[in-house]
Amino acid sequence: MLSHEGDRQFFHYRGDFSGDVIVVEKSTGEETCIPARDLLDLAVGYIQQERQSRMEQMSREELIGQLTKPF
């Protein structure tokens, strides 16, 4: 199991993000379990929104340059 320390919580999770992420509130020790896939969906949604917003602000030339770059 891997761990990550945030500002207010600790996160314990499997490296392959299967199963649940255990979120531990630092101030109280209270634990919450969240399906890892739900957190991944949240992160992907954020990335999609940010990229869409950036694309909408680009000129044609910038957009073409971005589309021809490999991922």
Dump pLDDT digits (tens) for 13-51. 999 999 999 999 999 999 999 999 999 999 999 999 998
Separation of first and last alpha carbons in the chain: 29
Q: Does position 60 have pLDDT exceeding 90, yes or no?
A: no
Name the residue type at position 59.
Answer: S
Phi and psi at residue 36, to the nearest 5° = -55, -35
In terms of pTM, does the model score above 0.85?
Answer: no
